[in-house]
Amino acid sequence: MTYCVALRLNAGLVFLSDSRTNAGVDHIGTFRKMNVFETPGDRVMVLMTAGNLSISQSVRQIIAEHTTTAGKNIWNASSMYEAAQIVGEAIRIVHDRDAATLEQFGIDFNVSMIFGGQIKGERCRLFQMYSAGNFIESHDENTYFQIGEAKYGKPILDRIVTPDTPLDEAAKCALISMDSTLRSNISVGLPLDMLIYESDRLAVTRFVTIDEQNQYFQMIRNTWGKQLRAVFESIDDPVWNGAPDEAIALSTIGNKSQPLRIQPPSQFGIPAVAPAPLQTLAQDEEGNNQQH
């Protein structure tokens, strides 16, 4: 499987991808999922892929070589929007060529991509591409895109990232997002590729491949876990049967809730019995109220 994330910020762009394609006890594949199309001084474009690897590789090759009927290609597109249209056309070319044959073997045409960068004369832009070749663009209300195993790393992005987030802080946030995914899903794995693009540089200047020995990523993994536990332990436990104005009262005196109880059918011969009074954390085993 895959996890890729990209962030569009006022200061530039952040791209991060893992490299695992298969996961199992005895079958782990590693393929890089980040591809860079660069003409220094004129354009930098980054493509990250998820889904069927053979489809992704075919699309990538066509993007590099294909010229539209209007004479446009990835190397001379006048805007990132036009470049995204070329990427979408490449996806459709592969679909028209391979989808029907794949379906005969029970294989869905499954591919998703993140495509972003900057062409001289316009701002940085970021797009999420779908299997039909259509796409959406990131704006200030939605500063990032994810593909693959997105759910584990989403909360930290939602809480931290804004358009004004500095690039280094955004890179740190993306790495925490990736670490959360690595910890929870075996189908995502090292090494990682990270590219930080500074707006208007029109060249790749900050790129790193991150493996198990990377000291900063190891620090992230260790520190984030410890800090999460420290924050968790600093939060008060709930108080049951507390006063209505008590700040940490989960339930309050005089405001009792009842679960939805399912009565046994009469044919089972189980006599109906009135439910016992609910014991709360504010009572001992004999039902005596405890002090908080």
Interval 115-168: pLDDT, tens: 999 999 999 999 999 999 999 999 999 999 999 999 999 999 999 999 999 999
Whole-angstrom distance, CA of residue 4 vs CA of residue 9: 17
Lateral strand order in the sheet of 43-51: 34-39, 43-51, 111-119, 125-129, 135-137
Give the pLDDT of residue 26.
60
Cβ neighbours around 58 below 10 Å, total: 19
Element (H, E) at 209: strand 206-210
The per-residue pLDDT for 279 is 55
pLDDT band at residue 281, thresholds of 50, 70 and 90? low
Distance between CA atoms of residues 38 and 75, nearest Å = 8
Q: What is the pTM of this model?
A: 0.88
Q: Residue 278's pLDDT is what?
A: 64
The predicted structure's pLDDT at residue 291: 47
What does the pLDDT read at residue 67? Answer: 97
Q: Are 50 and 121 in contact (CB under 8 A)?
A: no
Task: List 273's β-bridge partners, or say none.
Answer: none
Superfamily of the domain at 3-212: Aminohydrolase, N-terminal nucleophile (Ntn) domain (3.60.20.10)
Would the pLDDT of 85 be above 50?
A: yes
pLDDT above 70 (res 22): no
Q: Tell me what the mean pLDDT of segment 101-116 comes to.
A: 97
How high does pLDDT run on average in the chain? 92
Percent share of the chain, pLDDT over 70:
92
Task: Decide if pLDDT at 23 tops 60.
Answer: no
- Lowest mean pLDDT of 88-92, 128-132, 143-147, 254-258, name the range: 254-258
Cα dihedral sign for 147, 153, 159, 165? negative
Residue 292: pLDDT band with limits 50, 70, 90:
very low
Task: Look at residue 28 and tell me whether its pLDDT is greater than 80.
Answer: no
Residue-wise pLDDT for 177-208, tens only, equals: 999 999 999 889 999 999 999 999 999 999 99
Separation of alpha carbons 2 and 110, rounded Å: 13
Evaluate if residue 268 carries a pLDDT over 60: yes
Question: Given pLDDT bands bounded at 50, 70 and 90, which one contains residue 20?
Answer: confident
Count of residues for the chain? 292
When pLDDT is averaged across residues 48-69 and rounded to a whole number, the result is: 96
Residue 64 or residue 281, greater confidence: 64
Nearest Cα residue to 50 out of 85, 17, 88, 81: 17
Quick one: pLDDT at residue 259?
87
Residue scoring higher pLDDT (25 or 14) = 14
Asked if 209 and 47 count as a contact pair (C-beta separation under 8 A), the reply is no
pLDDT band, residue 25 (cuts 50/70/90): low
Nearest residue to 180 (alpha-carbon basis) of 158, 206, 213: 158
| Separation of alpha carbons 133 and 27, rounded Å | 31
* pLDDT given at position 68: 96
Helix 215-234, helix 167-184: angle, nearest 10: 80
**What value does the mean pLDDT take over residues 22-30?**
63
pLDDT band at 274 (very low <50, low <70, confident <90, very high): confident
pLDDT band at 223 (very low <50, low <70, confident <90, very high): very high
Instruction: Write the secondary structure of 100-112 as one string of H (helix), E (strand) and C (coil).
Output: HHHHHCCCCCCEE
